[in-house]
Amino acid sequence: MYKFIRSLLFLLPAETAHQFTFFCLKWACKVPFVKALMHQYYFVENSFEFEGIRFPNRVGLAAGFDKNAAYLNELAALGFGFVEIGTVTPLAQAGNEKPRLFRLKKDSGIINRMGFNNDGVDVVIERLKKRPKKLIVGGNIGKNKITPNDEAVNDYRICFEKMYPYVDYFVVNVSSPNTPGLRELQEKGPLTAILSTLVTLRNQFIKQDFPSKPVFLKIAPDLTHTQLDDVIEIVKETGINGIVATNTTIERNHLQTDKNLLQQIGNGGYSGKALFDHATAVLKYINQQTEGQLPLIGVGGINSVSSAADKVKNGASLVQLYTGFIYEGPGLVKQISMALKKIN
Ligand SMILES: Cc1cc2nc3c(=O)[nH]c(=O)nc-3n(C[C@H](O)[C@H](O)[C@H](O)COP(=O)(O)O)c2cc1C
């Protein structure tokens, strides 16, 4: 059934298909009982404790899909145990010029250069005030394009402070390839500054009787082992909770898609099937270097039960998907949740 719907949706440009799908889903969910029936069909209960949070199951929607926290009720009905909203920036921004989202059917993948299009933190928190209570919501935060890197820490601080009462965990995004210079923030100096500022802020919230909320760092799959060693050291030194591995890749080496088409598409991050090995190798490396002690969330190229199980085998406590969800539909969320229940 989903394959049929997909073949129709794939006739539309990728970004239009995304908007159209959620427009329809939102309306369908307003029909009495539809949302409840969908939830009953797709959701698999598999209560899982991770970093002080009880997740309804171990399968999440990766950042970038619901950037503005606009579809949380509908996504919960599709079976996700958690949804990472964002990347949210302090000010609203339009993102890059369209077209900026491209399907690579031969690679079951996507190239995107969205560029953090989002409504800005103030609008997002208004929506979060009405969020579904049972769904776990992560807040993925970033900096505005116009903010220079030496002032980036301030953007992360603003988003963190404003969103703290409304999300369950945070992800610091310094790994998107689509905001110029952002990935330079993965270097020692700026990364330490950002993460230690957020940990100090968290301590201040705790003093005011807020619960402690986990902070994760989302990294690119394109880091060298030396860079990964630095990241691990900084994560330990600053006292954040763990790592989300990984974001999209700028590499095009393993793709089947015609080189001319890739050239025509141009810059952006690739996600999907061909990212799996690369992202899992990063996850595995971090897990080995930290002797399985660092809390990890695995994302990148999951498109089947076995690929999700591989992430868990290589150290991930939770998994997230984005592109696999587009290609395989909500049935995949259910299948993975059921499978991970058996390997708890
Ligand atoms: C269209 C699109 C937009 C994305 N936007 C974000 C984003 O705003 N912030 C972020 O941290 N990751 C973003 N991502 C990356 C995903 O969260 C995920 O890390 C990546 O796609 C790899 O997972 P996948 O292979 O399952 O898609 C985006 C991915 C896609 C395809």
pLDDT at 3: 82
Query: At residue 164, does pLDDT exceed 80?
Result: yes
Q: What is the whole-number distance in angstroms between the Cα of residue 206 and the centre of ligand 1?
A: 30
Over residues 74-133, the pLDDT tens digits come to 999 999 999 999 999 999 999 999 999 999 999 999 999 999 999 999 999 999 999 998
Q: Percent of the chain having pLDDT more than 70?
A: 100
pLDDT at 268: 97
Query: At residue 4, does pLDDT exceed 90?
Result: no
**Full set of structural domains in the chain with CATH:** 2-342 (3.20.20.70)
pLDDT at 342: 87
Enter the pTM of the model.
Answer: 0.97
| Residue 2: pLDDT band with limits 50, 70, 90 | confident
pLDDT at 94: 98
**Ligand 1 atom closest to the CA of 302, numbered from 1:** 26
pLDDT at 232: 97
Residue identifier of the C-alpha nearest atom 22 of ligand 1: 300
Task: Tell me the one-letter amino acid at 131.
Answer: R
Over residues 12-22, the pLDDT tens digits come to 989 999 899 88
pLDDT at 88: 98
Q: What is the Cα gyration radius of the chain?
A: 19
User: Which residue among the candidates 108, 176, 307, 337 is catalytic per the annotation?
Assistant: 176
Over residues 312-330, the pLDDT tens digits come to 999 999 999 999 999 999 9
Q: What is the whole-number distance in angstroms between the Cα of residue 49 and the centre of ligand 1?
A: 24
* Average confidence score pLDDT of the chain: 96
User: For 311, what's the count of Cα atoms within 13 Å in the CB-facing half-sphere?
Assistant: 31
- For strands 109-112 and 101-104, give the pairing: antiparallel
Over residues 168-215, the pLDDT tens digits come to 999 999 999 999 999 999 999 999 999 999 999 999 999 999 999 999
Query: At residue 344, does pLDDT exceed 80?
Result: no
ω before 99 within 30° of 0 (cis)? yes
Active site residue 176: yes
Residue identifier of the C-alpha nearest atom 10 of ligand 1: 63
Q: What is the mean pLDDT of residues 238-253?
A: 97
pLDDT at 5: 87
Over residues 33-61, the pLDDT tens digits come to 999 999 999 999 999 999 999 999 999 99
